[in-house]
Structure 1
Amino acid sequence: MMMKQFKLTLVAASLLVSPQLLAADHNFYGRIDYSVTNSDSGSATHTGKSGTILENNFTRIGIKGKEALTQDWSIFYKMEFGVNGASQDKGSKPFSARPTFIGLKSETLGALAVGRIDPVFKMAKGFADAFDNYSLKHDRLMPGDKRHGDSFEYKSPKWNKLQLGVSYLMEDSYYGDSDTRKENGNYQVAVTYSDKFFRSGNIYLGAAYSDGIEDIKAARLVGHVKFDRLKLGTLVQHTELLNPNKANFEAREGEGFIFSATYQLDKLILKAQYGQDNSGTGKIAGRIYDAMGEAALEVPEISQWAVGAEYHFSKSARIHTEIGQFDVKQYDDFDDTIISLGMRYDF
């Protein structure tokens, strides 16, 4: 069965990268990123495993493209898949869902897409998190970093570097008629200024609001500035849990933040980050409630520090290392220390 699946994948890939497709502005791409990570408790790792493990940092392959329909309108798409075959426990599920959508774009009216899309609340973060994709990332403290299928997304044209984004879930695909979460707005709105790559200036700003998506009501502010080789970032968030099926959900509300700094020395990038959260809604808090249920009487207060480095051999290849700790004030068994060394290759 696995061999048949592999052969079908190769056939599909060969079709996707055929000369006819490549000639029409279609791009095949991918990323391979793995780390050897040591974790005390498993609270912060991607899979919740402790000890010395191999972590898959969202390895993926995909194809994306666009084609002009008229002078003003174009069609665009992306089909991306997580590649999990290197993990022992994913041998029977070597691929997983990642962004997959199709949309229409007008240079004057903006773009509308439908499918599995990274929502605007998530993407407002830009690159303020210096450890995004790794086990020291901000979603260990606070939520708002998931993507969702059966969704719509609209992005406006830019006006003086300002852009509006709106995400909406097709709630009938998620909730039954008796589920109170269906009464939430199940939408997100974001406004961003400039761009996260600093191509149009040395500052990036974002503000976003989420109502119901990911079972939270949340507001997020993001800032990222560049001073020559130094970049400073922050993300501040208020979060309220809306899922009545979760333990002590009414008490799980509060604030969180991260502050980050990166400094580039030629091919070497040094990184540092500090964060806190008391909302009880992030990944580590979720694992505490999953393990303890209603016995977790106090909302976890979590703090984090992290340092790391990346060395870029080329535009495509780099090695990276991360060291950091999470301190859970009321639940010492869920404290975690992360030491990680990894390699990433983009194509």
Structure 2
Amino acid sequence: MKALCFSALSLALCTPSVLANDYQFYGRFDYSLTSSDSGSATHNNKQGLVLENNFSRLGVKGRSELSATTDIFYQIEVGVNGGSQDKTSNPFSSRPTYLGICHQDYGSLAIGRIDPVFKMAKGGVDVMDIYVMKHDRLFAGDKRWGDSLAYKSPVWQNVQLGVSYLLEDNYYKVGEQRRELGNYQVAVTYGDKSFNNSDLYLAAAYSDGMEDIRAYRGVAQYQWDGLTLGTMVQHSELVNQAAAQWQQRHGTGFIVSAKYALGLWLLKAEGGYDDSGTGAIANRLYQSKGNSVNEAPVITQWALGAEYKISRAARIHTELGQFHVKQHQDFSDSLVSLGFRYDF
């Protein structure tokens, strides 16, 4: 009976009248074979030759007009993890899921699991994003949060204001230190990451408490013909007093990036540095060694990559590079990855 109901629902949702109007069904499969020396930078923290799921997903999003000036918009998306053996009992995971209202004069307000404005201020500057060489291995600020609100102003002269707020009562118990933090983010952007209206993208953002950090972020990216250059600089301070050695974990990180479109090829390069002790590699280091770590690790990165479009929907991609952890060589990682992505 359940299977019959599910089939009927699927058929109803896929009728031409639905798909032709305000709804879009979409998905992505993206898998890589990755060789890692230590596993400190892979998605699943495993070393050797591993299969990595680069956030494969399935979703629906849409928009419905309430009036000439107001729309309802929404997105329901899940991560598809069933291809991984260690996700056998958990084949789906949470991704953007929210409901919002948008007014042409007053902006938009959404509630649910939303990419916060501090994260999205990065634009497209991280050319290794979603793969093993991405910037969150260096410094924090790339998580998505449920039980949150997000406001975005109308765009004026290519400038937009964004605010995210975490409903901390859903996360923390009464008396917990992190409940008393601001748990909000603010960002101002100029242009957009796709360079639709300008060849320049700029962003400044501040985060207070979300992802256990207090941080400032600045982003700049410029496109000239097929070449795109960018940088992101961030000062981070860990504010979770329950974390190992939290008082020493503050500092500055950055990435610089370049990508060049050459026919069906996209060539990419990125370098980075961080000494804040807030990124994914540092978190794994502190989880392993705890209070024996007497100073925040200094981590540097270099990465090269390429993508080749087989068709509009399919591409092959490869990445290679290294993360060097100055004081803890056992957490340094050299990586080579070859992957395939298909969008539908």
TM surpasses 0.5: yes
Please give the residue correspondences for 1:146-185 in structure 2 after superposition, counting only pairs within 5 Å. 146-185=143-182
Is the aligned partner of 1:276 residue 2:268? Answer: no
Report the aligned-residue RMSD: 1.5
Picking from 319, 324, 333, the partner of 1:327 is 324
Provide TM-score, normalisation by structure 2: 0.97
Read off the aligned partner of 1:142 and give its amino acid letter.
F
Structure 2 vs 1, CA of residues 333 and 29 (structure 1 numbering), >3 Å: closer, same or farther? same
CA apart distance, 1:127: 0.4
Could you tell me how far 1:11 is from its partner in structure 2?
A: 5.8
Structure 1 runs (4+) greater than 3 angstroms displaced: 4-16
Does residue 1:24 correspond to 2:17, yes or no?
A: no
Q: Select which of 98, 101, 120 maps to 2:117.
A: 120
Determine which of 218, 226, 250 is the counterpart of 1:221.
218
TM-score computed with the length of structure 1 as normaliser: 0.96
Structure 2: tracts of 5 or more residues without a match: none
What are the residue-to-residue correspondences of 1:46-57 with 2, within 5 Å? 46-57=43-54
The aligned amino acid for 1:215 is: D
Q: Structure 2 counterpart of 1:58, which letter?
A: F
Q: Which segments of 5 or more consecutive residues in structure 1 lack a partner in the other structure?
A: none
* Counterpart in the other structure of 1:202: 199
Which residue pairs with 1:107 in the alignment? 104
Q: Percent identity?
A: 57
Q: Does 1:342 align with 2:339?
A: yes
Matched letter for residue 323 of structure 1: L
Distance 1:54 1:165, change over 3 A: same
Q: Give the counterpart letter for 1:204 in structure 2.
A: Y
Q: Tell me the distance in 1 between the aligned counterparts of 2:47 and 2:122.
A: 28
Cα gap change, 1:80/1:11 in structure 2, threshold over 3 Å: closer, same or farther? farther
> Does the Cα contact within 8 Å between 1:24 and 1:67 map onto a contact in 2?
no
Give the drift of 1:15: 4.1
Q: After superposition, what is the alpha-carbon deviation per residue over 1:120-163, rounded to whole angstroms, capped at 9, x for unaligned?
A: 00000010001000000000000000000000000000000000
Moved more, 23-32 or 46-55: 23-32
Instruction: Identify if the C-alpha distance between structure 1 residues 96 and 217 changes in structure 2 by more than 3 Å, giving closer, same or farther.
Output: same
Residue 302 of structure 2: SS of its match in structure 1?
A: strand
Cα distance in 2 for partners of 1:48, 1:7 equals 40
How far off its partner does 1:16 sit? 3.3
2:329 is equivalent to residue 307 of structure 1: no
Counterpart-to-counterpart distance in 2, 1:327 and 1:13: 48
